[in-house]
Structure 1
Amino acid sequence: MLRSMFSAISGLRAHQTKMDVTANNIANVNTVGFKSSATVFQDTLSQVVRAGGQPAADRGGTNPAQIGLGVKLAGITTNWTNGAQQSTGRSTDFMIEGDGFFVVEGAGGQQLFTRAGSFDFDSNGNLVTPDGSILQGWMAEADGTVNANGPVGPLSVPYGAMVNPTSTETGRIQGNLPSDVPVGTSYQLGADMFDSQGVLQKVSYNLTKAADNTWNVTVLHANGTTLLPEPPIDPAVTPLQITFDTNGVLTNPAGPGFNLPAFTPTGNPSWTNDVTISLAGLTQFGGANTLAAPKPDGYALGSLQSFTLGNDGTIMGVYSNGLRQPIGQLALAAFDNPSGLEKAGNSSFRVGVNSGIANIGQPGLGGRGELVSGALEMSNVDLSEEFTGLIIAQRGFQANSRVITASDELLQDLVNLKR
């Protein structure tokens, strides 16, 4: 009789735990990056009333008679499936599409991990979680290169940070020169170049048909100065002539292009480097004029205005001078057994004894998911499943309480036998 009561008591405890877990899931139905949990039960030890027997020559075998002694909590599992994507439009909201965790540095330098990608800036420009933990990754070098093999550190976006100017080193003329236009036809293309001080130098390419398959190229500065090419192009031959074969393929110059000399007339003393003008892709076929001069490299002094996030976690800075250059990259962590992580509060986890080490690296590699900017991962709690779980927990608790009541009535009847 007492066995039934104690078994029912263990059932009450187990279903109370199930109710607690379900209540926590429902409470976090709108928590960013929350992962729902579920209870797993298993029976406890059983009392052997009669042991089993082996078959003998004159009789068959017998099975053991065992009475179970109740139920216990086997574990609380976590559902790691992705939650729904909610677009926010905020550039500092990041969502992991797949496996992995954001790496953050909590109070006291503790390394924590989270799926909640709602970040903001602190007064130092660091990207931080709502509780102040600092997002970790790799900051880019001055030239925009990111060393993802180095140790992770705080990620910051230095709004207003200045980037030094870079002089133009390469330009390009490409497209098709119509072969069927009359001699004397001229086309002009403009290009913006920058000298070593970041001062804008406007240059124009003038191409004039001199004869069949022959075109004259003149490069003019905005102040009217003609920029003569340097050797191996003969500077004594003015203007520069380019020629095509009968198939419309450029034959002269035979190399990739020509060089413009360092331009140092009065008023432009800071243009001190040669500029290579590539003619790769320049053709002469019958048809339309498709000449183009893609923007040369080089840029003026600029400041950081905004940023975008790539799927690989690269934070691309957008500068006032039109430059787009990486300023850092987010790090993600993957675990062999994420269910072994310990919850640290504030939607964060810490490494547990059964989680394995944190495999920190670039998003999209090594089993780590990709990132989506301007969106958050919502809770993966399924309310219909949780409400069903509430009913199951309630009925299980109720049924076990009825066992205690019935056992009590049987004990009462037993006591009444003496009267």
Structure 2
Amino acid sequence: MLRSMFSAISGLRAHQTKMDVTGNNIANVNTVGFKSSNTVFQDTLSQVVRAGGQPAADRGGTNPAQIGLGVKLAGITTNWTNGAAQSTGRSTDFMIEGDGFFVVEGAGGQQLFTRAGSFDFDANGQLVTPDGSVLQGWVAGPDGTVNSNGPVESLRVPYGQIVNPTATTAGSMVGNLPSDVADGTAFQLGADMYDSQGVLQKVAYNVVKTGANTWDVSVVHADGTTLMAPTGIVFDATGELTTPAGPDHELAPFTPVGYPSWTNPVTMSLAGLSQFGGANTLAAPKPDGYPLGSLQSFSLGNDGTIMGVYSNGLRQPLGQLALAAFDNPSGLEKAGNSSFRVGVNSGLANIGLAGLGGRGELSSGALEMSNVDLSEEFTGLIVAQRGFQANSRVITASDELLQDLVNLKR
């Protein structure tokens, strides 16, 4: 009888733990990035009342008689399936589609990991979690290159950051020049170039047919100054450009004269030109070079690249988010604030780019919600309640048996 009471007590404790886990799941039904947990029970040691016997020549074998001594908690497992996506429209809300964790730096420089992608800016322009942990990744260099092989560091979006102007060094023309027009036919295209101080210089590309399969190309400033003298180009009988030669069919660089702040030679590429019968489709892609600008906004790519958008039209990477993957994410230890830390059985953090090495892709303007299934949790509540009640009835019944035993003396 005492065995039944102590077994029932272990059942009460186990089902109370199940209630605790279920209650925590329900409490976090709307917690961003929360992963629900499940309790797993197993029986404890059993007392052998009679040992088993092996078969003999004159009799058969017998099975052991054992009495279990209750139940115990085998473990609390985490359900790592993805939660539903919730669109927020906020550019600083990120969601991982697949496996992986955001890498953040908590208080004291502790490296933590989280699925909750609700970030915001602090006074230094750093992307931080609601509790102040700083999002980690790789900061882009001045030219926008990102070295994802280096150590991670705190990411920031420096709104208002000034980007220096860049002088134009290359222009181009693409499209078809009609082969069936008369000699002397001219076409003109406008383009915006910038000098070394970022001052806008409006120019025009002039193309004039001079003979069979031959044309002259020149560049003229808006004030009428010739920047590049007429230069002959030649097409073959099939309409392919042959002169100037080379893979990009570049004309000799020209250096504008008479403009003190325009010191960078400009190269014209004609690689996209052709001469076939038909319509004129001549076009001038935007030359390189930018005026002075400042950072106005940013966007997040699926690979975690934070692309800065500047007032002068420049789009340049500011950095790239880092994601971490683990061989055994269930071995992570919960650190509070929807964060985890490396555990002894989680394996080391495999930090790298999104979409590679088993890490999921990223999307902005959305959050991953809790993966708690309320219907499953309410069912778990009923199971835990009934289990608790049943074990309490065992204690009551055992108590009544002991009472009957005491009453034998009367």
User: Would you say same fold, with TM above 0.5?
Assistant: yes
Q: Distance in 2 between matches of 1:330 and 1:252?
A: 46
Q: Distance in 1 between matches of 2:200 and 2:6?
A: 87
Q: Is the 8 A contact 1:105 1:111 kept in 2?
A: yes
> Could you list the per-position Cα deviations for residues 64-101 of structure 1 after superposition, in whole angstroms to 9, with x for gaps in the alignment?
00000000000000001110111111010000111111
Structure 2 match to 1:177:
177
> Could you list the per-position Cα deviations for residues 232-285 of structure 1 after superposition, in whole angstroms to 9, with x for gaps in the alignment?
xxxxxxx322221221111222231213421131xx211112111011021011
Structure 2 match to 1:216:
216
Structure 1 letter corresponding to 2:235 = F
Structure 2 match to 1:96:
96
> Could you list the per-position Cα deviations for residues 331-351 of structure 1 after superposition, in whole angstroms to 9, with x for gaps in the alignment?
111111111111111001111
Bigger CA drift: 332-341 or 175-184? 175-184
Q: Distance in 1 between matches of 2:11 and 2:23?
A: 18
> Could you list the per-position Cα deviations for residues 2-46 of structure 1 after superposition, in whole angstroms to 9, with x for gaps in the alignment?
111111111011001000000000000000000000000000000
Number of aligned pairs? 408
Secondary structure (helix, strand or coil) at the match of 1:304 reads strand
Structure 1 position 298, deviation (Å):
1.1
Q: Distance in 1 between matches of 2:82 and 2:166?
A: 44
Secondary structure (helix, strand or coil) at the match of 2:252 reads strand
Alignment of 1:18-167 (within 5 A): 18-167=18-167
Alignment of 1:4-403 (within 5 A): 4-228=4-228, 239-255=230-246, 256-265=249-258, 268-403=259-394
- Structure 1 residue ranges without an equivalent (≥5): 230-238
Q: Distance in 1 between matches of 2:101 and 2:245?
A: 54
Structure 1 position 185, deviation (Å):
2.0
Q: Is the 8 A contact 2:227 2:257 kept in 1?
A: no
> Could you list the per-position Cα deviations for residues 133-166 of structure 1 after superposition, in whole angstroms to 9, with x for gaps in the alignment?
1111111110001111111111000000011111
- Structure 2 residue ranges without an equivalent (≥5): none
Structure 1 letter corresponding to 2:3 = R
> Could you list the per-position Cα deviations for residues 328-387 of structure 1 after superposition, in whole angstroms to 9, with x for gaps in the alignment?
111111111111111111001111111111111111111111111111000000000000
Structure 2 match to 1:232:
none
Q: Distance in 2 between matches of 1:20 and 1:201?
A: 71
Secondary structure (helix, strand or coil) at the match of 1:364 reads coil
Secondary structure (helix, strand or coil) at the match of 1:395 reads helix
Q: Is the 8 A contact 1:227 1:260 kept in 2?
A: no
Structure 1 position 218, deviation (Å):
2.1
Structure 2 letter corresponding to 1:259 = A
Structure 1 letter corresponding to 2:178 = P
Q: Distance in 1 between matches of 2:291 and 2:113?
A: 40
Q: Distance in 2 between matches of 1:214 and 1:152?
A: 56
Aligned-pair RMSD on alpha carbons?
Answer: 1.0
Q: Distance in 2 between matches of 1:31 and 1:159?
A: 30
Structure 1 position 411, deviation (Å):
1.5
Bigger CA drift: 25-34 or 173-182? 173-182
Structure 1 position 200, deviation (Å):
1.1
Q: Distance in 2 between matches of 1:102 and 1:243?
A: 57
Q: Is the 8 A contact 2:255 2:263 kept in 1?
A: yes
Q: Is the 8 A contact 1:104 1:113 kept in 2?
A: yes
Secondary structure (helix, strand or coil) at the match of 1:160 reads coil
Q: Distance in 1 between matches of 2:339 and 2:72?
A: 28
Structure 1 letter corresponding to 2:36 = S
Structure 2 letter corresponding to 1:366 = G
Q: Is the 8 A contact 2:325 2:358 kept in 1?
A: yes
Structure 2 match to 1:236:
none
Bigger CA drift: 319-328 or 201-210? 201-210
Q: Distance in 2 between matches of 1:165 and 1:49?
A: 89
Secondary structure (helix, strand or coil) at the match of 1:392 reads helix
Q: Distance in 2 between matches of 1:5 and 1:247?
A: 98
Q: Is the 8 A contact 1:189 1:206 kept in 2?
A: yes
Q: Distance in 2 between matches of 1:32 and 1:182?
A: 69
Secondary structure (helix, strand or coil) at the match of 1:308 reads strand
Secondary structure (helix, strand or coil) at the match of 1:174 reads strand
> Could you list the per-position Cα deviations for residues 162-195 of structure 1 after superposition, in whole angstroms to 9, with x for gaps in the alignment?
1111111111111001112222322111111111
Q: Distance in 1 between matches of 2:63 and 2:46?
A: 14
Q: Distance in 1 between matches of 2:400 and 2:47?
A: 24
- What is the TM-score of this pair, normalised by structure 2? 0.98
Q: Is the 8 A contact 2:16 2:388 kept in 1?
A: yes
> Could you list the per-position Cα deviations for residues 271-327 of structure 1 after superposition, in whole angstroms to 9, with x for gaps in the alignment?
112111011021011111111110111111111000000111110000011000001
Q: Is the 8 A contact 1:136 1:331 kept in 2?
A: yes
Q: Distance in 1 between matches of 2:351 and 2:253?
A: 48
